[in-house]
């Protein structure tokens, strides 16, 4: 399959033909075998938009009655408080792996390369207090490092473990590798090994975090946007553009104003549990560029914005996203996380380096007030590590105020 995908990358006609055939097959499968879509035409416009609530309330109606073979059960991370249970076929898993392998090739990965994996796997017991917080998979040429144990004291140990193993490529949550990069900056150092590239995924990557990661690790970041629902994928190329992978899924962009568009996707690769015109709740800013120097013919988006769960309310009760702007220019902040359970008040947990002084703390407070309103009550709380979800992700903001 990987050879088939490679043929699409730089041919407009080949990509269009492939995407059209995959969409036709996905719609035919949905109409013929999935109870929720029974009676619809084989026309995308005949399908109404659905979202997470729709799927949650009709979970048994999205399973194909025609499927035979292995069923692999799984669920979304539930960062919005509403995890979904979604089954996959073995074919779906294999196709997902093919796209992941292609992204690694874009990032320069070769079969003999050694990888570092810093994602949500439970590598060591959560209660473990002393290093090492990593294990080795020699069969896969990987060092697997726990994203749950990234404390201020452990950061230099993670760096040294990767250097000692001779890592070529890092695959990580953005928050995990950004924290390592910010540690390096706080001590005035750069990664002391040679890294080909860093592949980030499963959470939003801010421009500021990308810049500091690339600066301190002296390599390019290849970001991947995807969902467990498998309804869209957007991937960085070597020139830093975000390409919408139209051979992975059919993607529509709904204009929501302010230059932002919501991602709506139709999955091609999971006939067992097909989701058609699924509103993701994730947003992009579309690009005016029509071509990329890499030569690939996929559509381009300028940037991927934070998910709807990651916000707090300003003093005038507007939802405010992209809170990474608040820590921009503040020295010594290796990680930050915003909490709000009452209007007009916000707490910021900070993992701080040695250069986070009282002056920097006052600057951070002022930045938050500038961003959320002068009347905002801001409390800074120094912590050893940030709060993580069950999957090991760090949410930028946790707001418990209802709409």
Residue range 52-67, pLDDT digits in tens: 999 989 999 999 999 9
Write out the H or E segment, with its range, that includes residue 348.
Answer: strand 345-352
CATH 3.30.300.30 range(s) for the chain read: 312-399
Angle between helices 174-186 and 155-165 (to 10 degrees): 100
CATH 3.40.50.12780 domain extents, the chain: 2-103+224-305
pLDDT (mean) for 17-38: 97
Partners of 87 in beta bridges: 73
pTM of the model: 0.84
pLDDT at 81 over 60: no
Residue 78 in this model has a pLDDT that exceeds 60: no
Domain 2-103+224-305 bears CATH identifier 3.40.50.12780: yes
The DSSP line for 119-180 is SS---S-TT--SS--EEEETTTTEEEE-GGG--TTTHHHHHHHHHHHT-SEEEE-HHHHHHH
What pLDDT was estimated at residue 379? 96
Structure tokens at 348: 């910021």
CATH superfamily of 312-399: ANL, C-terminal domain (3.30.300.30)
For residue 207, what pLDDT is reported?
A: 87
Longest alpha-carbon distance in the chain: 65
- 392 has a pLDDT exceeding 90: no
| Distance, first Cα to last Cα, the chain | 45
pLDDT at 82: 56
Q: Using one digit for the tens of pLDDT, what is the confidence trace for 147-195?
A: 889 999 999 999 999 999 999 999 999 989 999 999 999 999 999 999 9
């Amino acid at each position: 399959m990987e050879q088939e995908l490679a043929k699409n990358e730089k041919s407009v006609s080949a990509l269009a033909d492939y995407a059209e055939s995959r969409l036709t097959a996905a719609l035919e499968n949905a109409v013929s075998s999935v109870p929720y879509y029974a009676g619809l035409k084989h026309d995308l416009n005949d399908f109404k938009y659905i979202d997470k609530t729709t799927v949650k309330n009709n979970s048994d109606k999205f399973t194909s009655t025609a499927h035979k073979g292995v069923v692999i059960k799984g669920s979304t991370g539930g960062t919005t408080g509403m995890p979904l249970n979604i089954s996959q076929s073995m074919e779906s898993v294999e196709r997902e792996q093919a796209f992941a392998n292609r992204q690694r090739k874009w990032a320069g990965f070769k079969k003999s390369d050694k990888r570092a994996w810093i994602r949500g796997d439970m590598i060591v017991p959560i209660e473990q207090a002393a290093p090492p917080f990593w294990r080795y998979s020699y069969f896969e040429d990987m060092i697997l490092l726990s994203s749950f144990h990234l404390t201020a004291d452990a950061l230099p140990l993670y760096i040294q473990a990767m250097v000692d193993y001779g890592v070529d490529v890092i695959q990580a949550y953005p928050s995990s590798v950004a924290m390592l990069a910010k540690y390096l900056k706080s001590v005035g150092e750069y990664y002391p090994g040679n890294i080909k590239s860093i592949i980030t995924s499963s959470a939003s990557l801010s421009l500021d975090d990308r810049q500091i990661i690339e600066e301190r690790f002296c390599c390019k970041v290849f970001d991947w946007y995807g969902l467990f629902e498998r309804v869209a994928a957007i991937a960085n190329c070597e020139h830093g553009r975000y390409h919408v992978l139209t051979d992975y899924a059919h993607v529509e962009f709904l204009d929501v104003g302010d230059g932002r568009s919501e991602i709506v996707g139709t999955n091609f690769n999971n006939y067992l549990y097909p989701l058609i015109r699924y509103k993701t709740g994730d947003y992009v800013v579309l690009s005016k560029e029509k071509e990329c120097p890499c030569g690939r013919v996929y559509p381009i988006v300028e940037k991927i914005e934070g998910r709807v769960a990651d916000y707090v309310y300003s003093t005038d009760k507007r939802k405010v996203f992209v809170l990474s702007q608040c820590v921009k220019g503040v020295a010594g902040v290796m990680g930050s996380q915003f909490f709000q359970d009452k209007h007009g008040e916000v707490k910021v947990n900070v993992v701080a380096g040695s250069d986070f002084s009282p002056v920097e703390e006052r600057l951070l407070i002022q930045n938050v007030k500038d961003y959320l309103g002068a009347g905002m009550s801001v409390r800074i709380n120094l912590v050893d590590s940030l709060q993580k979800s069950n999957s090991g992700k760090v949410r930028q903001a946790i707001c418990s105020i209802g709409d």
